[in-house]
Structure 1
Amino acid sequence: MKSVINIMLMLFCITAFSQEQKVEYTKVDNNLIKATYYFADNSDVVEREGFFNKDEKLHGMWVSYDVEGNKTSIAFYNDGKKDGIWSYFKEGKVNLVTYNNNKIVNVEEKIVAVN
Structure 2
Amino acid sequence: MRNILTVLMLLAFTITYAQEVKPKFEKNGDQTEATFYHDNGEVAQKGLFNKNNKLQGVWTSFDAQGNKVASGTYNNGVKVGKWFFWNNETLKEVDYINNAIANVSEWQTKDRVADNN
Identify the TM-score tier after normalising by the shorter chain.
0.7 to 0.9
TM-score normalised to structure 1 length: 0.75
Rg bigger for which structure? 2
Q: How does 1:79-94 map to 2 (within 5 A)?
A: 79-94=76-91
Which sections of structure 1, spanning at least 5 residues, go unmatched? 1-14
Deviation at 1:20, TM superposition (A): 4.5
Aligned partner of 2:61 in structure 1 is 64
> Percent identity between the aligned chains?
39
Which structure shows the bigger proportion of residues in strand conformation? 1
- Moved segments of 4+, more than 2 Å: none
Deviation at 1:99, TM superposition (A): 0.4
Distance (whole Å) between structure 2 residues aligned to residue 46 and residue 52 of structure 1: 17
- Per-residue deviation, residues 16-56 of structure 1 (Å, max 9, x unmatched): xxx74510001122x211100011x22x2111110000000
Which sections of structure 2, spanning at least 5 residues, go unmatched? 1-14, 113-117
Root mean square deviation, CA, Å: 1.7
Aligned length: 94
TM-score normalised to structure 2 length: 0.74
Aligned partner of 1:12 in structure 2 is none
- Per-residue deviation, residues 38-85 of structure 1 (Å, max 9, x unmatched): 11x22x211111000000000011111011100010021000001111
Distance (whole Å) between structure 2 residues aligned to residue 61 and residue 22 of structure 1: 21
Distance (whole Å) between structure 1 residues aligned to residue 62 and residue 101 of structure 2: 23
Deviation at 1:112, TM superposition (A): 2.3
